[in-house]
Structure 1
């Protein structure tokens, strides 16, 4: 995993709609992860939340797709670390969003028992809350990349 870039975007550029959430319904992780729908906040809640922020930090990561789960786990931990740094820097409402479902644990206890081992670390995916990533970054599906987003203030 490598950070390609981090850039600030105006929160007003973030479009929230039901379209990404509908795509979630076809994902194999739908309903199986504590971060994913129907456990994630609704797109309407997310739209209201985004309206209370002025800016966000968009992070682009390069990953080795041959080790996808391990690489993604590193990305999620990096995003959580950046959220904590922003919080400690005075952005008390810094809120991170993951690229896709949570896979912080190698084996998801939530899938077995409905109980998460790390509920304080789980964040919803960008698309699960209705954020249209393609409206704030040009997506190139030939790249092996992931994006994280942290609402800042």
Structure 2
């Protein structure tokens, strides 16, 4: 299975203990309108402002059909302890941007070794720039930025729990920043 091959390859080339890589079958992915609704109500600050968030993403039916053509993927979890220092870093988007770069690097590995059509998503919308370019202008970092998982209609919390990731709401112990790569 391509997802397991990618997970093995990524694990072999990553020794960061904060990173967990979990393969999944595409049948685990459910694209739901109600998940994308969370981007709109209450409105996420990225809604309509971020080039990789709704309504700047493809229609949910297109996403559903496109994802069905993949065999699976890997969930990538960056775990950091929940404390005041970590929260200061979160407010500066440091872990979010670290995950964005990590997904980009893992995506390139997937292109080279598993599937040239592989692509990645991350949680929370892109934070690489202070502000996206205005409408009509292209993204400044199109090879680094990735769409948000929720914007694609994927319930990342349920998926992560099904794959064995401990998710806490409210957070008490660890912050989990998640991305995924489809192959």
Q: Deviations over 1:120-143 (max 9, x none)?
A: 332211000101113322232313
Identify the residue that residue 102 of structure 2 maps to in structure 1: 78
Identify the residue that residue 121 of structure 1 maps to in structure 2: 144
Equivalent residues of 1:65, 1:144 under 8 A apart: no
Identify the residue that residue 122 of structure 2 maps to in structure 1: 98
Identify the residue that residue 59 of structure 2 maps to in structure 1: 42
Q: How many residues of Structure 1 are paired with residues of Structure 2 in the alignment?
A: 151
Please give the TM-score of this superposition, normalised by the length of structure 1. Answer: 0.89
Moved more, 72-81 or 58-67: 58-67
User: What's the RMSD between the two structures over aligned residues?
Assistant: 2.0
Equivalent residues of 1:2, 1:61 under 8 A apart: no
> What SS does the corresponding residue of 2:108 show, helix, strand or coil?
helix
Deviation at 1:90, TM superposition (A): 3.3
**Structure 1: 5+ residue stretches without partners:** none
Q: Deviations over 1:22-42 (max 9, x none)?
A: 110121111111110111122
Whole-angstrom distance in 2 between the partners of 1:112 and 1:42: 18
Q: 1:42 to 1:3 in 2, by over 3 A?
A: farther
| Larger RCO (CA under 8 A, 6+ residues apart) | 1
Please give the TM-score of this superposition, normalised by the length of structure 2. Answer: 0.75
Identify the residue that residue 11 of structure 1 maps to in structure 2: 26
Whole-angstrom distance in 2 between the partners of 1:41 and 1:135: 23
Q: Does 1:27 align with 2:44?
A: yes
Moved more, 93-102 or 135-144: 135-144
